[in-house]
Amino acid sequence: MSERTSGDAGADRVSATLEHLQSAALEMIAALRSALDLAEDLVRDPPLAAAGNGLASMLAQALQGVQPLLGGDRRDGAPEGPQPTPRVEHIRVS
């Protein structure tokens, strides 16, 4: 029996990575199709759009409550806690 070479292991990792990326891409396509179906329904049925606005508002409020838990900035724009030194210098061009 022959031992696996590091090239074989690298090829397996690349193959596994590509499979994961393909799966993620297919999930994104499915999510976008769903969003487009919803958008079409909202355009075709204005009362549904009005209900959708209320739902969107509730979702936005819920996400604002979750954002601090995910390490987002505060609502006033001030960052939470000490911030790491940026590794990239941003230069404004006017």
Contact 52, 42 (CB under 8 A): yes
Q: Alpha-carbon distance 50 to 35, whole Å?
A: 17
Give the whole-angstrom CA distance, residue 23 versus residue 30.
11
pLDDT of residue 1: 45
Q: Can you give the pLDDT at residue 16?
A: 92
* Residue 20 predicted with pLDDT over 90: yes
Q: With contact defined as beta carbons under 8 Å apart, do 80 and 74 qualify?
A: yes
The mean pLDDT value for 30-59 works out to 81
pTM over 0.85: no
Rounded CA separation 63/75 (Å): 12
